[in-house]
C-alpha cells in the first residue's frame, strides 16, 4: 500500500525574493570593488542553484566582484575538478552564474584552537576581500548535539579547510569529539577571516527551502543554535517504530553526508534528540546511488543488503578518499549484494528473521523523501489511529518483473513526487 505522511510544511513561496530580502541586512556594507568568495558545499540543498544565482546578482548589483568557491572539504575526490563537477551537477556553473569558479585546493594555517589543533583555511578564501558562506543547517549524521551540526560553523571547520583541514578536524574529533572540534575551529576561522558572513538555509519536512537567515561571522556561534533547534523540530521520521526491513531506493552524498541520514535510519550515531521518534530497523536494503553523488558511495556500509547495481555505481577512489578523510572506513564497506530486487529482499528478510507474509516492510525513495512511503499490509491495522497518515493506494500483492526487479508498471513509488 502507498501512504502519504503529513510532514512539516513551511516551503517558501518565492525563495529568491526571500534570499534578497534577508541580504538587506548587509546593505549598509560597502561592497564596491570587493572580491567576494561565495562558498558552496556538496549537499543537494533545495533550490541551491537559485540561491547561488540570487547571491551573485545581489553582490554584482552593489559593485562587488563575486566568484564561486567550493567549500566541501574532501568531497569530489578531493580535487578541484571533482568539486567543480559536483557543483555543476546542481546547476552551478560559470556559464549559468556568469562568474568564475575558483576551486583551488591549497590551504594556509591561520592559527590553533583552544585544544591545540592547527586550523587550515582555503587560500582562495584568505585572498578574497570578503567571504559569504551558504549552507543548510541540519542535524549531523556522524554525531549528536543539541546546538551544532551541519551548517555555517561546520562549513568553517570542514568545508573551508579543504582536504587538509577536513582531515585534521576529523582526526581531532576522534579524540575530543566532533562538536568540540567544530566549535573551536569555527571560533578561529570567524576571528581571522576578513568580512565573513553566512546564509543559513533550513528545509521543511519535505526537503523544501523554508527559512533563510543571514548572519555575520561573529554571530555564528550565538545565533546558529536557534536555527539548529528549529531544524530538529522540522525533521521528518519514518511513520512506524518497528520495521523489519527498510528498502531505500537511493543513497548519495547529495542526500546526506552519510549517504543515508542516520537520524532517520537510526544507525551510526547517538540520536538523543530523536530518541522518541527513532525507528527500530532490523535490516536495510539499499538499491542504487544517485547520479549527483558522482560515484561517492559513502553509506553503502550502513545497509545490510545492497543491489549489485549500487556496487557497480560506486567509484572506489572517490568513496575511499571521503571515508578516509572522515575516518569512517565502515561506511564504504561493500555489503552482501545480489543482482535483483527479489534476491536482495529475500536476503533482507532472512537477516531480519521474519517470514515474508508477516513482515513489516517500508520502502522510501531516500531518507530525504518521506512524504510518500510504500508499506506492507502488516501495517494496515495501525492506520485508523494515525491522523498523520493517509492511504493513497490500498494493499495489493507485490509484483515483480520477469527479471526479479520491481515492475515499473505496478511500482507504487514510480511517478510519485520526489518530495
121 in the same domain as 165 = yes
The pLDDT of residue 419 is 45
From the list 361, 389, 375, 40, the residue with the least C-alpha distance to 236 is: 389
| CATH classification at residue 83 | 3.40.50.11440
| C-alpha of 320 from chain center | 18
Residue 398 lies in a domain: no
Q: In the chain, which residues have pLDDT < 50? A: 272, 419
- Please provide the size of the chain in residues: 419
290 in the same domain as 215 = no
Residue 401 lies in a domain: no
245 in the same domain as 229 = no
220 in the same domain as 281 = no
320 in the same domain as 188 = no
135: three-class secondary structure by DSSP: strand
88 in the same domain as 199 = yes
Its pTM stands at 0.83
In percent, the amount of the chain with pLDDT more than 90 equals 74
Q: At which of 210, 234, 258 does a domain end? A: 234
Q: List the domain range (segments joined by +) for residue 84.
A: 9-234
377 Cβ contact list (under 8 Å, min separation 6): 1, 395
The pLDDT of residue 123 is 96
Determine which helix (DSSP H) or strand (DSSP E) holds 324, and give its type and residue range. helix 316-326
The answer to whether 253 and 271 are in contact (CB under 8 A) is no
Residue 102 lies in a domain: yes
221 in the same domain as 164 = yes
Residue 4 lies in a domain: no
Q: At which of 234, 268, 289 does a domain end? A: 234
Q: How far apart are CA 52 and CA 48, in angstroms?
A: 6
275 in the same domain as 341 = yes
- DSSP string across 60-96: HHTT-EEEEEE--TTTGGGSHHHHHHHHHHTT--HHH
Residue 2 lies in a domain: no
Tens-place pLDDT, residues 185-233: 999 999 999 799 999 999 999 889 999 999 999 999 999 999 999 998 9
Number of domains comprising the chain: 2
382 in the same domain as 271 = yes
Determine which helix (DSSP H) or strand (DSSP E) holds 378, and give its type and residue range. none
Rg (CA), the chain: 22
Q: How far apart are CA 325 and CA 172, in angstroms?
A: 12
Q: How far apart are CA 156 and CA 190, in angstroms?
A: 8
The pLDDT of residue 54 is 98
Residue 77 lies in a domain: yes
163 in the same domain as 32 = yes
The answer to whether 264 and 370 are in contact (CB under 8 A) is yes
Residue 170 lies in a domain: yes
334 in the same domain as 191 = no
Residue where the block lists cell 527479471: 403
5 CB-side CA count, 13 A: 21
Q: At which of 202, 234, 266 does a domain end? A: 234
Q: How far apart are CA 334 and CA 311, in angstroms?
A: 7
Residue 399 lies in a domain: no
Angle at which helix 15-23 crosses helix 48-61, to 10 degrees, equals 40
Q: How far apart are CA 65 and CA 127, in angstroms?
A: 13
147 in the same domain as 69 = yes
Amino acid at each position: 500500500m502507498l501512504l502519504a505522511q503529513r510532514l512539516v510544511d513551511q516551503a517558501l513561496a518565492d525563495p529568491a525574493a526571500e534570499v534578497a530580502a534577508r541580504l538587506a541586512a548587509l546593505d549598509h556594507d560597502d561592497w564596491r570593488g570587493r572580491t567576494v568568495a561565495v562558498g558552496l558545499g556538496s549537499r543537494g540543498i533545495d533550490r541551491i542553484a537559485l540561491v547561488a544565482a540570487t547571491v551573485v546578482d545581489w553582490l554584482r548589483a552593489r559593485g562587488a566582484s563575486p566568484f564561486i568557491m567550493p567549500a566541501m572539504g574532501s568531497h569530489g575526490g578531493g580535487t578541484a575538478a571533482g568539486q567543480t563537477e559536483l557543483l555543476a551537477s546542481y546547476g552551478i556553473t560559470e556559464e549559468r552564474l556568469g562568474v568564475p569558479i575558483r576551486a583551488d585546493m591549497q590551504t594556509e594555517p591561520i592559527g590553533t584552537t583552544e585544544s591545540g589543533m592547527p586550523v587550515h583555511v582555503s587560500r582562495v578564501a584568505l585572498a578574497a576581500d570578503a567571504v559569504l558562506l551558504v549552507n543548510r543547517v541540519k542535524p549531523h549524521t556522524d554525531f549528536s548535539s543539541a546546538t551544532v551540526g551541519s551548517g555555517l560553523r561546520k562549513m568553517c571547520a570542514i568545508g573551508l579547510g579543504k582536504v587538509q583541514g577536513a582531515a585534521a578536524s576529523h582526526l581531532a574529533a576522534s579524540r575530543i569529539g566532533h562538536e568540540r572540534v567544530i566549535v573551536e575551529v569555527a571560533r578561529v576561522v570567524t576571528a581571522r577571516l576578513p568580512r565573513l558572513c553566512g546564509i543559513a538555509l533550513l528545509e521543511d519536512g519535505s526537503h523544501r527551502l523554508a527559512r533563510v537567515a543571514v548572519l555575520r561571522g561573529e554571530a555564528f556561534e550565538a545565533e546558529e543554535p536557534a536555527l539548529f533547534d528549529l531544524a530538529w523540530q522540522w525533521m521528518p521520521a519514518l511513520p512506524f517504530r518497528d520495521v523489519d526491513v527498510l528498502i531505500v531506493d537511493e543513497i548519495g552524498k547529495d542526500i546526506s553526508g552519510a549517504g543515508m541520514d542516520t537520524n532517520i535510519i537510526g544507525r551510526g550515531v547517538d540520536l538523543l534528540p530523536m530518541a522518541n521518534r527513532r525507528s527500530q530497523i532490523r535490516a536495510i536494503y539499499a538499491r542504487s546511488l544517485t547520479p549527483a553523488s558522482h560515484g561517492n558511495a559513502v553509506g553503502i556500509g550502513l545497509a545490510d543488503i545492497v543491489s549489485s547495481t549500487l556496487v557497480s555505481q560506486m567509484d572506489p577512489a572517490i568513496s575511499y578518499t571521503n571515508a578516509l578523510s572522515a575516518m569512517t572506513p565502515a561506511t564504504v564497506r561493500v555489503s552482501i549484494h545480489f543482482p535483483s530486487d527479489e534476491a536482495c529482499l529475500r536476503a533482507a528478510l532472512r537477516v531480519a528473521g521474519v517470514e515474508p507474509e508477516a513482515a513489516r516492510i517500508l520502502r522510501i525513495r531516500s531518507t530525504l523523501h518521506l512524504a510518500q512511503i510504500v508499506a506492507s499490509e502488516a501495517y494496515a491495522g495501525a492506520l485508523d489511529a494515525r491522523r498523520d497518515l493517509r492511504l493513497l493506494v490500498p494493499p495489493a500483492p507485490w509484483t515483480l518483473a520477469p527479471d526479479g526487479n520491481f515492475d515499473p508498471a505496478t511500482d507504487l513509488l514510480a511517478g510519485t513526487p520526489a518530495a
